[in-house]
Chain A
Amino acid sequence: MLVLVAIAGIWEVLVRFSIADVQFLPAPSEIAAAAQGEIFGGELVGRLIHTVGVTALGWGIASVIGVGLGLLLGLSPTAYRYSMTSFEVTRAIPPITFVPAALLIFGFSLKMELVLVIYGGIWPVLINTIGGVRSIAPELRDVGTMLRLSTPETIRKIVLPAAMPSVVVGLRLGLSLCLVLAVVAEMVGNPEGLGNGLIRARQALQPALMFVYVIAAGLLGVALNAGLRATARAFLPGNALKDVFAS
């Protein structure tokens, strides 16, 4: 933490006495002033709420689809054999390149942003759910068969808990991806949220304001990650967590 303060201090001094003569680089004090203006009476809070809302909603939908589809593909060898390669090939296409296609199809709208966020968020959840389900020890499944559990019961009591650490990894990766895609969509498409604030500040040549939005986006990333970590901690046993948050 101290280092952050030190960096800000050095940065301030460098810019103030124009030792580092970089065009458009605002001093931290200017950024702080801009932040104050933008928080009280500016648009920052509204934009933040928009981005958080879309990210969370898209991530939620993506997670449900990803886990559902992942369970199907993980549990049914037939489904796996007859579709996995298709998913692998489609997954290889970077979601970013779908932004232009989504723009053509949905125009500059909230729908476009949401579709992108959902699309991007599905992949990590899907892949990690499949991986988690397929790596469950066969003995565990045998226990389910022996106890004559029905399929829904097996899924709820055996498959999901056993695959959970891997699923949470997918959820976490998905969440950061959803945020990235939301910001990109706002920058080029849907004219709302943090991404749009960033572009507006850039176009208006207000570097200090731009840094405010960059910092807001970064803090949002940290906050979302911390929130997910806290939630996961509440639901998962301690040992599983070490793996999940290692990388």
Chain B
Amino acid sequence: MTQDRASDIAPSTRLYERIRLDSLTGLLPLVLLLSVWQLIGDPESPFFPAPSSWWPALFTLGQGDKIIPAILDTVRTFGLGLLGATILGVALGLSIGVSRTFGRAVGPTFEFARALPPAAIVPVATLLLGFDETMKIVVVVLAALWPILLNTSSGVQELNPVLLDTARSLRLSTTRTLFGVLLPSVMPAIVLGVRVATPIALVITLLVEYLTAVNGVGALVGEAQRTFQPARVYALIAIAGLLSLVVNSGVRFVENAVQRRRVGDQ
């Protein structure tokens, strides 16, 4: 039942579920591409340096010790941003779901804010907040907020009204209704929203870092590009890809764990 509802909310993620990394045979084209690239590629090429030159390029010119701090910076911004987006998204989503008036009042504003390309927020954020960690996190929150907010609010709206009526007839306090009834029942929707928001948060983290050159992997890629070190650019792209694979499978793992616990409860 919960499964059904969650899938109604985001059809694209339901489809994604079916497409899994199920076989290593599927890696064939990528391996082929990289091999051909390696064979015919020139390590000095300004456009397509051979893959074998990528890894050493990370450590040339004493830049090797920048990599780990940059990854940690990116992960921190991403984590705090996603956390902020979750708290804000759930709070706003619950308010919109519970109060129709509030939902109608903020509707157009949110519709606009959601359509705003996150990249366009960056210059404004740097102007108002400066070039620092807070600015990065604010931009990530503003971009990753929407899936969580939307899933939470539609989760609340699709709840069985009897549930809230029961809470009222039991005269539960608002706090207890919120934490005892409302939050647990929309939890699957929230988790789904967080999962959709996770890749967005990571992409936006890299985007902000690239555009503002404030710390992190994104900033390093930008620096490598501006100083014409193509091999280093490709190496950092590969690192960003690995980071994103790790984060995505981590989220899927957490989601499965949450769902299994819920099934156990029922």
Contact = CB atoms under 8 A, between A and B. Distances in A.
Interface of A: 1-4, 7, 22-25, 80-90, 92-101, 103-105, 124, 127-128, 130-132, 134-135, 165-166, 169-170, 173, 176, 179-180, 183-184, 187-188, 194-195, 198-199, 201-202, 207, 210-211, 213-214, 217-222, 224-225, 243-244, 246-247
B65 interface: no
A54 to B, nearest CB: 13
Interface string B102-141: 0001101101111111111111101110000000000000
Nearest to A131: B15
A170 B13 CA distance: 11
B47 A104 contact: yes
A187 B211 contact: yes
B225 A103 contact: yes
Contacts of A210: 123-124, 127
Contacts of A105: 47-48
A24 B233 contact: no
Is chain A's binding surface mostly helix, strand, loop or mixed?
helix
Interface string B21-48: 1111111111101000000000000111
A96 B200 CA distance: 11
B162 to A, nearest CB: 24
Contact of B119 (A170, A183, A222): A183
Contact of B12 (A86, A88, A184, A247): A247
Contacts of A179: 117
| Top 6 closest pairs, chain A to chain B, by CB | A131-B15, A85-B26, A221-B115, A100-B225, A93-B241, A86-B30
Interface in B71-107: 105-106
A92 B210 contact: no
Size class of the B contact interface (CB-based, 8 Å):
35 or more
B215 interface: no
B240 interface: yes
Contacts of A222: 111-112, 115
B218 interface: yes
Contacts of B113: 218
Given A82-B29, A217-B120, 13 more contacts: A83-B29, A89-B27, A92-B241, A93-B241, A100-B222, A104-B47, A105-B48, A127-B12, A131-B12, A214-B123, A220-B115, A224-B115, A247-B196
Contacts of A221: 114-117
Given A104-B228, A183-B120, A131 B222 contact: no
Given A4-B108, A4-B109, A104-B225, A247 B29 contact: no
5 contacts: A82-B29, A88-B19, A100-B221, A170-B12, A247-B147
B9 interface: yes
Contacts of A132: 15
Contacts of A218: 112-113, 115-117, 120
Contacts of A199: 123
